Structure 1
Amino acid sequence: MGNHKLRLSIAVGNYDRMRPLIDGDVQIDGVEPVFLLQDPEEIFFRAFRHADFDVCELSLSSYSVKTAAGTSPYIAVPVFPSRAFRHTAIYVHADSGISKPEDLKGKRIGVPEYQLTANVWVRLFLEEEYGVKASDVTWVRGGYEDPTRVEKISLNLPADIKLENAPEGKTISSMLASGEVDAVIGPRAPSCFDQGHPKVRYLFDDPQKTATDWYARTKLFPIMHTLGIKKSVAEAHPWLPGTLVKAFEKSKALAITRLADTAATKVTLPFVEEQVQAARKLMGNDFWPYGFAENEQTIDRFLARHHAEGLSSRRLEARELFHPASLESFKI
């Protein structure tokens, strides 16, 4: 046979936690990877429309929609390439009379897509912490910067959810700048915010402090993306799910070791080591955990919310998202 490795296309974002794999410092046993480094929007669109890749990052929300419906071409492993606190994800117009989260009630809120993972997490804490329900506002759906963006996944929302499409040719960012929507919730900052529009600001005065307090109470570090393997590939190569978890875990551990190396900072940013220390103090040494047991509670909270919102057709159990061979990891 000779040394024939399995060639796999792997579509992921260009993150520090992927670099050791991409650069070849960490090998995936038995695999010859072909990495495609893309933005999540492109990966998810191609994955959920055409199942273009053997292995790829998946939106936790879209993947949950498809898994509940039994239509996902992918099965996940408990690797979480993207996580983020989303208290920075709410932007408000200064003239809309919003000084605290409760003031969002009765307002018009723009979203790039309703079912985005970031938006599910934001709606979770808005309701649990501040009593603002999804049915208390009017949702306006449209592209941030491109008026033709469409929702990737068809939705079947509860009857009390008011969701309308942005007017033809309008973007969510321009509507926030002009005050046609009162707020925007989404995983990226709208361009009007980035460009310093005088009337557009964060909802929370200090989103990092608010998120830190929330984590201290809830122990939730929101998961945005997981890693999927095309089901046909996983079936043909039963050794692959466990092997991928091991390699991606190694890559992330190496990235964190480099990040914490204070002799010469690896990231073009001052105070990196202080940030690493602060994260460890708040969240423990492994502040970005992969693995099923370490994340089951966080995923379960997400799935409960996801189903309550009418996004997943049934209430999924956390373990249903993952390949059985990837649920237990051996410790080295």
Structure 2
Amino acid sequence: MNDLDLRIAAGEYDTTRALFDGSVTVNGVRSVHVSTAATLPEIFQALLRGDVDVCEFGLTFYLRTLDIDASFVAIPAFPNRVFRHSCVFVHADSGITQPSDLTGRSIGEFGIYGQDSGVWAKGILMDEYGFRPEQDRWVIGGLDHPMPPFEFTTHPHPDNVEVTAVPAGKTLSGMLETGEIDALFTANVPQPVLDGSPAIRRLFPDHEPIERDYYRRTGIFPMMHVIAAPRDVLAANPGLDRAVYRAFLQAKDAAAQQYCDSRRLYQVHHMLPWTNALFDRNDRLLPHDWWPYGVSANHKALDTYLRYHHEQGLSTRRWTIEKIFAPDLLET
């Protein structure tokens, strides 16, 4: 392993910043090169093309590879998490004011049917509000720029779920703004919303209290992505999976410590006002390690996601945690 020049690709978050600036590295390798891309799908494609050795990878994209050839192995580090009640948008004149109003509607989703954000949002709505995706018509395409469904991954969905592509030249955000679709499940905020369009609003306009209550009741902080590596790379470099896990963990912990240290100074290192009050409020709800890595602290959230993935017809089998992660990291 000490002759390995390791190539890593990931989003440049606070959880990964220490890897990018070199203050945290991967022990036991000759060199580390960390890169990113303009969009997360581009990062995922770098792994699929073999351009990198270790990569941030969407959970659903990883599970889809397991159903094909199991050529990648997941490492239980989760650099990207978001509570997803906030990711469902509706056309303002659609008459949708609550989850039950989604029945029989046309709903957009970015890139694929069953993106990580959509898996979580659908699953939560199914568990808590009786939502049934098969009762709707799903339209897949680009959010703010025209594009076909992703070509670099598979597109499974149940036979009783209607899934079509966005018409050529159109975008999901544009179709939602004009009312051509009734709702949208998205990982990113649509540009018309950022521009203040009155034609689009969230299904849960005051989503923070709902998401906090969801966490209080379930203990689940949804993760979108894992770290993954080609199986043959890990096999050729014993101990690499653990070294990579430790590096991502150290980078995340370094970011968390910065927030904790900045608390004394009212978070003056950040431009957002009232950040310190938000930190205090979160401290009363979340555990000390509010963004945990490893299997044990994330067992319930991971198992819930695996259940959702299978229930939504995206996996050919009900995967278990023991089958999707590097075996020597299961005790983390």
Q: Which runs of 5 or more residues in structure 2 are unaligned?
A: none
Whole-angstrom CA distance in 1 between matches of 2:36 and 2:146: 25
- State the SS of the aligned residue for 1:82: coil
Shift of 1:28: 1.7
Task: Quote the residue 1:95 is aligned against.
Answer: 93
Whole-angstrom CA distance in 1 between matches of 2:323 and 2:282: 30
Task: Quote the residue 1:307 is aligned against.
Answer: 310
Q: Structure 2 counterpart of 1:287, which letter? A: W
Task: Quote the residue 2:17 is aligned against.
Answer: 19
Q: Structure 2 counterpart of 1:241, which letter? A: D
- State the SS of the aligned residue for 1:16: coil
Whether the aligned pair in 2 keeps the contact of 1:76 and 1:229 (CA below 8 Å) is yes
Shift of 1:154: 2.1
> Does residue 34 in structure 1 map to residue 33 in structure 2?
yes
Task: Quote the residue 1:217 is aligned against.
Answer: 217
- State the SS of the aligned residue for 1:311: coil
> Does residue 279 in structure 1 map to residue 282 in structure 2?
yes
Whole-angstrom CA distance in 1 between matches of 2:44 and 2:2: 30
Whole-angstrom CA distance in 1 between matches of 2:45 and 2:243: 26
Whether the aligned pair in 2 keeps the contact of 1:242 and 1:326 (CA below 8 Å) is yes
Whether the aligned pair in 1 keeps the contact of 2:6 and 2:32 (CA below 8 Å) is yes
> Does residue 147 in structure 1 map to residue 146 in structure 2?
yes
Please list, as runs of the form range in 1=range in 2, the aligned pairs for 1:28-107 lying within 5 A after superposition: 28-31=26-29, 32-38=31-37, 39-48=39-48, 50-67=49-66, 69-107=67-105
1:129-155, CA deviations, whole angstroms, 9 ceiling, x for partnerless residues? 111111121111111123223234222
Q: Structure 2 counterpart of 1:184, which letter? A: L
Shift of 1:106: 1.1
| Identical-pair percentage | 35
Task: Quote the residue 2:231 is aligned against.
Answer: 231
Whole-angstrom CA distance in 2 between matches of 1:52 and 1:72: 18
Task: Quote the residue 1:245 is aligned against.
Answer: 245
Task: Quote the residue 1:114 is aligned against.
Answer: 113
Whether the aligned pair in 1 keeps the contact of 2:77 and 2:226 (CA below 8 Å) is yes
Whether the aligned pair in 2 keeps the contact of 1:62 and 1:115 (CA below 8 Å) is no
Shift of 1:179: 0.5
Q: Structure 2 counterpart of 1:242, which letter? A: R
Shift of 1:283: 1.9
- State the SS of the aligned residue for 2:214: helix
Whole-angstrom CA distance in 2 between matches of 1:29 and 1:5: 12
1:102-147, CA deviations, whole angstroms, 9 ceiling, x for partnerless residues? 1111111111121201000000011111111111211111111232
Q: Structure 2 counterpart of 1:265, which letter? A: V
> Relative to structure 1, is the Cα distance of residues 166 and 234 closer, same or farther in structure 2, using a 3 angstrom cutoff?
same
> Relative to structure 1, is the Cα distance of residues 155 and 251 closer, same or farther in structure 2, using a 3 angstrom cutoff?
same
Whole-angstrom CA distance in 1 between matches of 2:54 and 2:279: 29
TM-score (norm 1): 0.93
Q: In terms of mean alpha carbon deviation, does 52-61 or 136-145 score higher?
A: 136-145
Whether the aligned pair in 1 keeps the contact of 2:148 and 2:166 (CA below 8 Å) is no
Which residue of 288, 291, 294 corresponds with 1:291? 294
1:29-68, CA deviations, whole angstroms, 9 ceiling, x for partnerless residues? 12321010223121113323x132100000001101211x
Shift of 1:168: 2.0
Q: In terms of mean alpha carbon deviation, does 3-12 or 19-28 score higher?
A: 3-12
Q: In terms of mean alpha carbon deviation, does 302-311 or 158-167 score higher?
A: 158-167
TM-score (norm 2): 0.93
Task: Quote the residue 2:324 is aligned against.
Answer: 321
Whether the aligned pair in 2 keeps the contact of 1:259 and 1:273 (CA below 8 Å) is no
1:147-195, CA deviations, whole angstroms, 9 ceiling, x for partnerless residues? 2232342223222111122222211111011000011111001111111
Whole-angstrom CA distance in 1 between matches of 2:22 and 2:216: 37
Whole-angstrom CA distance in 2 between matches of 1:52 and 1:134: 36
> Relative to structure 1, is the Cα distance of residues 4 and 120 closer, same or farther in structure 2, using a 3 angstrom cutoff?
closer
- State the SS of the aligned residue for 1:96: coil
Whether the aligned pair in 1 keeps the contact of 2:56 and 2:228 (CA below 8 Å) is yes
- State the SS of the aligned residue for 1:223: coil
Q: Structure 2 counterpart of 1:308, which letter? A: E
Whole-angstrom CA distance in 2 between matches of 1:104 and 1:230: 40
Whole-angstrom CA distance in 1 between matches of 2:329 and 2:270: 32
Whole-angstrom CA distance in 1 between matches of 2:10 and 2:130: 36
